[in-house]
Amino acid sequence: MRRGSLLGALLFFFLTVPTLFAKDVVIVTSFPKELFETYKKSFEAKNPGITVVINSKQTNEGVTYLRETKAKPDADIFWVSAPDAFQTLESDGLLEKYAPPKEIMSRIPAKIGSFPIHDPDGNYFGFAISGYGLMWNKNYLKAHKLPVPKEWTDLTNPKYFNHLVISAPSRSGTTHLTVETILQAYGWEKGWALLLNAGGNMGSITDRSFGVPEAVISGQYGIGVVIDFFGLSAIASGQPVEFAYPSLTSVVPASVGIVKGGPNPQEAKAFVNYLLSEAGQVVLFSPEIARLPVIPELYAKAPKDYPNPFKKKLGGVNFNDTLSSGRRDVVNSLYDHVITFRHKELRDAWRSIYKAEDALAKSKSAGVAQGKNLVAEARNLASQVPINDKKASDKEITGAFKSKSGVKAQLETEWENFARANYAKAKELAEKAVGLAN
Amino acid sequence: MAVSLAPTFTRTRDRLDWRQGGIVAFLLALLVAFILYPILRVLWISLSDDAGNLTLLHFLNFFRRPLFRESLWNTLQGGFLVVFFSAVMALPLAYIIARYEFRGKVLLQTAATLPLVIPPFVGAVALQLILGRSGMVNLILMDWFDITIPFMEGLTGVVLVQTLHFFPFILLNTAVSLSAIDASLEEAAQNLGCHGFRLLRRITLPLMLPGFTAGSLLTFIRAIDDLGTPLMLNYKNLLAPQAYLRITTIGMDDVDGYVVCVVLVILSLTALLGARKYLSLAEYASVQRSAAIPRKPHGKILALIWLMIGLILGMSLLPHIGIFLLSFSKVWSFSVLPTTYTAGNYVEILFRAPHFVINTLIYTLLAAGLDIILGAAIAFLLLRSRVPGRNLLDAIATMPLAIPGVVLAVGYLRVFHGWDFPGLGAPLTSSWFILVIAYTVRRLPYTVRACYAALQQVHVSLEESAQNLGANRLRTFAKITLPLVAGGLVAGGLIAFVTSCVELASTIMLVPRIELGPISYGIYLYMQSPLGRGAGAALGVVAIILVSIGTYLTHRIFSGSAGRAFKI
């Protein structure tokens, strides 16, 4: 035992001593290896004497890590896609305010579409633009004889039943923004109707953002709802997939922020400056990274056919960030309790509806008109959510998600029961309609 | 076990008790610091309200919510089905291992451990590529018969994958139990005219029941706590994923997640105590016994044996085959086999990122070593002393079996992060040693059981004889006890090593920086991008090879005793 502890002490010594002298910048990031390795190399080449130390974590785990280590932070930089992760950290007071040099900031516009690129309070900075869209596997669509999707509304096409994949918005900040984009583009009621119908068509709802491109690349599912660089980098690596932005999409920045009280504040600033400078921005064009820089003039140097979010009319939606972040917990939990956790029932309902519509279209029996009424009612039932948009932003309800009072449990139970009852009824009506068609 | 040691101890009882008491106190302090306290810090959330006062409201709400009742029911149902199908797969193989001697048996024993080692993420992808809805099997079925079989959907998929994953627990336990049956009992029955099926039913089956029960309960506990399988199949209406999803969801301190954790812990501990109670009634140590002599099969029987092995192991090693293929693939999309092959993935992991492999070896071997020391000490105190507090030690050491890795990791960050660890100059959570501790703790229940089983089979009279002949306690331990239990200890270390190699849940949370990550973390990193699938799979292959070598050597050196590692 004693020798063991001596050995342990020695190991500790060799482990910690080198870190006392070298200058590090410690980065918590959810980005893929290709991205952070390229940046590590290029930053270290420009800043001799500083070593980039990467601590790679999923976004959620990164936030938890920063929270649990706030007494004595190990990390200097937080670097992920999802804006809501930064908002959470900001409201917890875990980010350091910073004002990068004027000559850097002056080249970056304040907004992309209606979305501010940087946090107005200077807690985090957008370094790349991302849009949301659809990616599909060419081989898969060909084998199943499916059309190529173009718009969000295409996701409700009965032909796509069981061929789609999405990640749960509660698990993936980028999917949450996609869901919000749809809700804001089509309005609360129509938006949810679309989401529920598309939810019924989903073959699977994953818990990791990357689960979606993975399922599409390997051909488990045909079409996935993803952030653009998942699609673009998969294309660049030679996979048989394609990607497109729907006409109504919003573009949102991926950001970087400095951790409050981190061990290397000077190096952290140097890294943020580098990321936002021209030298750091052109790195985004590398095919294995494939992201969109925030300096508009750089697109002149972009590879051929590179999407330009400042020129192209990408931001079809005037995205309201305050609205989105205010009701985030409610929207995510609602999605989980009416779609993710009730996926089986939702799918059953829509399968029956499609079957009924098919049968009615072919049928010449007298009951067709009555059957069509039943199906319309079934569709309506399988397209409703238990609360309206006013309530979703209500302080009392959003507050319940931050407290342990038990109101949240009650709400979620209500939503779940509402969904269960509606989907069962919809299925029953659709089956009755099939009977009328025969 | 109530083996009386009183005569040996009377002479020096006071001094010994004092020393043993010191060891118990030291071990208790260790276990409380690294297991009990961190876990309680996290689980307290489920018992407190907004003001921090004690409340049971959250537990009442658990049973009021249909979603959780459904998850509880699914979990129990899934657990029982997994045990049932695992038994169907495991029993024939266990019988073959225990009763027949043939060339290649060591290979069979090695391969039987591999299903336990499905590297995270790649295992999921590989299995999807083979059994998934556009996997190898279904693409062929679609081509030939225009049908597909949804192997991997819903609870059915979870049960299928978990069965393929966990059946070795039953296999190895039952095999150990079978080979420990006193041959004279079967011979006696045969002499009395009992043969064939009747012999099996009346004598062999009842005698192997303890091992079988132990394996079944371990399978049950692992199945209900298993997070990886439901997540990779995207099936969420089970307790383990409900707990995980709610705890790690961004921006929400969702109390329900912790409540589900506590419910899981209670379920697992209940199953465990049930198993203990049953086994303590049914199993005893013996001084010596005449084990059955394995038969050497020939001709038809040998062919039948190999057919059986091929069928069962072939099925359970499907993910491994998939991982192997994936590790050489560049593009594998919607096709029966990869369309472009490359060796580049191995170049990437062996030359550009060799630290993942090296770290894994350091961490898992250290953890296995610590586990052996701790496990042996606890087992020794349990069996050879009557110091108060030893049962408490056992109970705490068993807890990690039922604690999700995420909960332990969050507990560690919460407890160890704020302050510099003495002698380290930094918080414990900033060094890689926290990973060794996490692995040690997560696998301790296995080694305690393995050491306990090994020590139990050494009758105390052997030690007493040595002492009667003048050896002191230390010499007795070194010359008699240690050589006799070494096999069991190493077996316990083996299982700690094997399962730590692919431990993910606590790893992701605790790795302080990328250079300090082990293989499981490397796989996670690679799997985040479309380019990395092959490299991730290559790392998975390395993990599988490491584990195979470890298992093979253990079987070679301590033939047969490795199975004890899986006892509870």
CB atoms within 10 A of CB B253: 15
Residues 381 through 440 of chain B touching chain A, CB cutoff 8 Å: 410, 413-414, 417-419, 423-427, 429-433
**B465 at the A interface (CB within 8 A)?**
no
Q: Where are the alpha helices (DSSP H) in A363-406?
A: 368-381, 389-392, 395-400
Tens digits of residue pLDDT in A23-50: 899 999 988 888 999 999 999 999 988 9
The CA-based angle A377-A169-A330, given to 5 degrees, is 70
Closest Cβ opposite residue B61 in set A328, A332, A409: A409
End-to-end CA distance of chain B: 14
The CA distance from B242 to the nearest CA of chain A, in Å, is 10
Residues 149 through 168 of chain B touching chain A, CB cutoff 8 Å: 154
Cα–Cα distance measured from residue B323 to residue B537, given in angstroms and rounded to the nearest whole number: 5
Cα–Cα distance measured from residue A289 to residue A272, given in angstroms and rounded to the nearest whole number: 18
Closest Cβ opposite residue B417 in set A55, A72, A204: A72
Domain A131-250+322-437: assigned CATH number: 3.40.190.10
Q: Which residues pair with A206 in a beta bridge?
A: A167
* Nearest C-alpha neighbor of A270 from the set A63, A51, A11: A51
**Residue A218 · residue A228 · CB < 8 Å:** no
**Contact assignment for A54 to B513 by CB distance below 8 Å:** yes
The CA-based angle B510-B515-B519, given to 5 degrees, is 70
The CA-based angle A334-B407-A7, given to 5 degrees, is 150
**Residue B82 · residue B166 · CB < 8 Å:** yes
End-to-end CA distance of chain A: 80
Residue that the structure tokens 């393995």 belong to:
B450
What Rg value do the Cα atoms of chain A yield, rounded?
24
Rounded alpha-carbon distances, angstroms, from residue B181 to A111, B208, B217, B450, B562: 77, 7, 21, 18, 17
Closest Cβ opposite residue A33 in set B424, B430, B526: B526
Cα–Cα distance measured from residue B264 to residue B239, given in angstroms and rounded to the nearest whole number: 7
Cα–Cα distance measured from residue B306 to residue B410, given in angstroms and rounded to the nearest whole number: 47
Domain ranges of chain A: 2-130+252-301, 131-250+322-437
Cα–Cα distance measured from residue B266 to residue A424, given in angstroms and rounded to the nearest whole number: 34
Q: Residue B6: what pLDDT?
A: 41
Same fold, A2-130+252-301 and A131-250+322-437: yes
Which residues of A are less than 8 Å from B425 in CB distance? Answer: 16, 20
- pTM higher than 0.90 for the full model? no
**Residue B21 · residue B387 · CB < 8 Å:** yes
The CA distance from B291 to the nearest CA of chain A, in Å, is 37
Q: Residue B288: what pLDDT?
A: 45
**Residue B567 · residue B214 · CB < 8 Å:** yes
The CA distance from A208 to the nearest CA of chain B, in Å, is 9
CB atoms within 10 A of CB B63: 10
**Residue A285 · residue A303 · CB < 8 Å:** yes
**Residue B196 · residue B144 · CB < 8 Å:** no
**Residue B31 · residue B399 · CB < 8 Å:** no
Element (H, E) at B136: helix B136-145
**Residue A33 · residue B529 · CB < 8 Å:** yes
Q: Residue A385: what pLDDT?
A: 95
**Residue A248 · residue A131 · CB < 8 Å:** no
Q: Where are the alpha helices (DSSP H) in B180-298?
A: 183-191, 196-199, 205-225, 228-232, 239-248, 255-282
**Residue B340 · residue B331 · CB < 8 Å:** yes
Tens digits of residue pLDDT in A315-369: 567 778 788 888 988 999 999 999 999 999 999 999 999 999 999 998 888 888 8
* Average pLDDT per 10 consecutive residues for chain B, totaling 568 residues: 40 58 88 91 83 84 91 95 94 84 79 80 79 85 83 86 87 77 75 79 75 81 82 86 78 75 83 72 46 72 86 86 86 78 81 85 93 89 80 84 78 81 79 92 85 74 82 79 76 81 80 86 80 84 87 70 44
**Contact assignment for A404 to B128 by CB distance below 8 Å:** no
**Residue A163 · residue A117 · CB < 8 Å:** no
Cα–Cα distance measured from residue A229 to residue A235, given in angstroms and rounded to the nearest whole number: 9
**Residue A90 · residue A121 · CB < 8 Å:** yes
Q: Residue A332: what pLDDT?
A: 92
Instruction: Give the three-class secondary structure for B118.
Output: coil
Which residues of A are less than 8 Å from B52 in CB distance? Answer: none
- Burial (0-12, 13-18, 19+ Cβ within 10 Å), B401: buried
Closest Cβ opposite residue B433 in set A12, A404, A406: A12
Cα–Cα distance measured from residue A275 to residue A128, given in angstroms and rounded to the nearest whole number: 9
**Contact assignment for B333 to A137 by CB distance below 8 Å:** yes
In B, minimum Cα distance to A171 occurs at B249
**Residue A285 · residue A306 · CB < 8 Å:** yes
Element (H, E) at A225: strand A223-227
Looking only at the bridges linking them, the beta strands covering A164-167 and A223-227 are parallel
Residue that the structure tokens 């560690």 belong to:
B412
Q: Running DSSP on this structure, what letter comes out for residue B565?
A: G
Which residues of B are less than 8 Å from A288 in CB distance? Answer: 529, 531
Looking only at the bridges linking them, the beta strands covering A95-96 and A50-56 are unpaired
Closest Cβ opposite residue B249 in set A60, A71, A341: A60
Which residues of B are less than 8 Å from A337 in CB distance? Answer: 67
The verdict on domain A2-130+252-301 having CATH code 3.40.640.10 is: no
State ipTM: 0.80
Tell which of A54, A167, A207 to mutate to test the B interface (max B CBs under 10 Å). A207
Closest Cβ opposite residue A74 in set B128, B330, B512: B512
Residues 40 through 69 of chain B touching chain A, CB cutoff 8 Å: 48-50, 57-58, 61, 64-67
Cα–Cα distance measured from residue B325 to residue B128, given in angstroms and rounded to the nearest whole number: 13
Phi, psi angles (nearest 5°) of residue A273: -60, -45
Q: Residue B135: what pLDDT?
A: 85
Q: Residue B527: what pLDDT?
A: 78
**B530 at the A interface (CB within 8 A)?**
yes
Rounded alpha-carbon distances, angstroms, from residue B216 to B169, B274, B454, B469: 7, 12, 20, 43
In A, minimum Cα distance to B511 occurs at A55
Cα–Cα distance measured from residue A24 to residue A12, given in angstroms and rounded to the nearest whole number: 19
The HSE-up count of residue A197 (CA atoms within 13 Å, CB side) is 23
Cα–Cα distance measured from residue A327 to residue A392, given in angstroms and rounded to the nearest whole number: 6
| Sign of the C-alpha dihedral computed for residues B135, B331, A172 and A268 taken in this order | positive
| Sign of the C-alpha dihedral computed for residues B43, B49, B52 and B55 taken in this order | negative
Residues in chain A where the model's pLDDT stays below 70 = 1-22, 312-316
The CA distance from B512 to the nearest CA of chain A, in Å, is 6
Which residues of A are less than 8 Å from B251 in CB distance? Answer: 63, 84-85, 87-88, 328-329
Q: Kindly give, in sequence order, each residue whose CB lies less than 8 Å from that of residue A262, ignoring residues fewer than 6 positions away.
A: A26, A73, A74, A75, A76, A77, A96, A268
Cα–Cα distance measured from residue A14 to residue A410, given in angstroms and rounded to the nearest whole number: 54
Cα–Cα distance measured from residue A325 to residue A91, given in angstroms and rounded to the nearest whole number: 11
**Contact assignment for B414 to A11 by CB distance below 8 Å:** no
Cα–Cα distance measured from residue A183 to residue A68, given in angstroms and rounded to the nearest whole number: 34
Residues 362 through 381 of chain B touching chain A, CB cutoff 8 Å: 370, 373
Q: Running DSSP on this structure, what letter comes out for residue A92?
A: T
